[in-house]
Amino acid sequence: MIEAVDTIDASAIARGIRAEARRLGFDLAGIAPADPSKYADHFRRWMAEGNAGTMQWLTKRTEERCDPRVYFPGTRSIICVAMNYHVTLQERSDSEGSGRIARYALGDDYHEVIKGKMHRLADWLQKAAPGTRTRCGVDTAPIMERELAARAGIGWIGKNTCVIHPRVGSWILLGEVLTTLDLPSDEPIADHCGSCSRCIDACPTGAIEKAYHLDARKCISYLTIEHRGELDERKQASIGDWLFGCDICQDVCPFNRRAPEANEPAFQPRFADGTVDLMETLSWRPNEFNPRLSGSAMKRVKLPILQRNARSILQRKSGAREIALHEWDTKSRARRVLSE
């Protein structure tokens, strides 16, 4: 069922959505039309060229990814929200024996934090406009969420392919509510990257091959989270001291220079300096790993992957091959996980 727009004050509903989003703790909110992606052909070429690496899930449900109306029939508008997760970290106490963690994974799992708020926003909308159908998405839905966020005025897609807001920067996590209600859309924000190339120049692996084009296979986040199998010498050198994810292209962005601190308590870091002791990571067992990272996005990567990364960092730093290979070839469980 699609609502009769003449019975609903769509502008008032849109204002109410933004107010409710702020009340729920979202830092940014906007509304985008549910149009097909203008990057559909580019996405298909990007995939065909192998830029997604082993992330085969991206090859599935392509028609839905390229058109939100296919994903959720009847969709007319998409409410896009963003939460700031930037936190200032303490100075590292041990740069040699520790591995760095991307900021988004330092607090509680953002999927769960944002999902709950998204469902409350959808509940509000259904009460404000009875008969409206909604579907929520947080990162894992088959939609082009960065493009939608840009359409909704959340920010522009930067040269590092992150969404950047002129005040908040790129330390933002996205969520969407697809709705059958026809709502007035927000104006997109102009691209302010200009001639800046700091993210491209700073990327140690050359993953940002050119402005707005990322080869995921070279990205440290991909190598430490998505890549299955062992890391050869080249890949070990590529990840540097990153145990999980990477923030380099965001750290150098001028729009992050004065990024505000996150207001959400759940995003406060469980590791104050943003690092984990590598030898401690190697000592974890499944029964210790689960409670240690309970509620963290890091739990989405299995323990053998984290330990593979820790071994690679230590091997590169010390040349201690016995550390890198310790119990590795003898653990069939680890080999199975790495090949999945």
pLDDT tens column, 203-218: 999 999 999 999 999 9
Res 51 pLDDT > 80:
yes
**186 within some domain:** no
Angle at 257 between CA 203 and CA 80, to 5 degrees: 85
Does 112 map to a domain? yes
Catalytic residue among 35, 67, 139, 277: 139
Q: Which two tokens stand for residue 20?
A: 């409710």
Residue 290's pLDDT band (boundaries 50, 70, 90)? confident
- Report the C-alpha gap between 73 and 116 in whole angstroms: 23
Burial class from Cβ neighbours inside 10 Å (0-12, 13-18, 19+) for residue 187 reads exposed
Is pLDDT above 80 for 231?
yes
Structure tokens, 44:
């298909």
Hey, what are 61's tokens? 């449900």
Mean pLDDT (the chain) is 90
Instruction: Let me know whether 264 and 328 are in one domain.
Output: yes
Do 234 and 170 share a domain, yes or no?
no
Structure tokens belonging to residue 156: 């522009």
Range of the domain at 23: 5-89+108-179
Residue 83 has pLDDT above 50, yes or no: yes
Instruction: Report yes or no: 160 and 249 within 8 Å, Cβ to Cβ.
Output: yes
141 and 239 assigned to the same domain? no
Task: Assess whether 173 and 207 both reside in one domain.
Answer: no
Going 282 to 283 to 287 to 290, the CA torsion angle's sign is: negative
Q: Is it the case that residue 69 has pLDDT exceeding 70? A: yes
Provide the pairing of β-strand 98-101 with 275-277: antiparallel
* CB burial of residue 45 (10 Å; 0-12, 13-18, 19+): exposed
- Both 31 and 164 in one domain: the answer is yes
- Domain match, 244 and 322 both: yes
Q: Are residues 231 and 315 in the same domain?
A: yes
Chain segment 139-182, per-residue pLDDT in tens: 889 999 999 999 999 999 999 999 999 999 999 999 999 999 99
DSSP string across 167-184: TTBT-EEEEEEEESS--P
7 band by pLDDT with thresholds 50, 70 and 90: low
The question of whether 139 is a catalytic residue gets the answer: yes
Q: Establish if 94 belongs to a structural domain.
A: no
173 contacts 82 by C-beta, under 8 angstroms:
yes
Whether 28 maps to a domain, the answer reads yes
pLDDT of 330: 34
Q: Give yes or no for a contact between 299 and 105, defined as CB atoms under 8 angstroms apart.
A: no
Residues 173 and 116 in one domain: yes
* Least confident piece of the model among 90-99, 199-208, 261-270: 90-99
313 and 202 in a common domain: yes
Q: What are phi and psi of 30, to 5 degrees?
A: -160, 175
> Which pLDDT band, with edges at 50, 70 and 90, does 328 fall under?
very low
- 3-state SS class at 209: strand
The pLDDT score that the predictor gives to residue 340 is: 45
Strand partners of residue 210:
213
Q: Name the 3-class secondary structure at 296.
A: coil
Kindly state the average pLDDT of the residues 293-313. Answer: 91
In a domain, 187, yes or no: no
Identify the pLDDT of residue 142: 95
pLDDT in tens, 19-39: 999 999 999 999 999 999 999
The 10 Å Cβ neighbour count of residue 275 is 22
**Res 138 pLDDT > 50:** yes
The alpha helices in 78-228, defined as continuous H runs, are 110-128, 145-151, 198-202, 220-221
Distances in Å between the alpha carbon of 252 and those of 169, 170, 211? 11, 11, 15
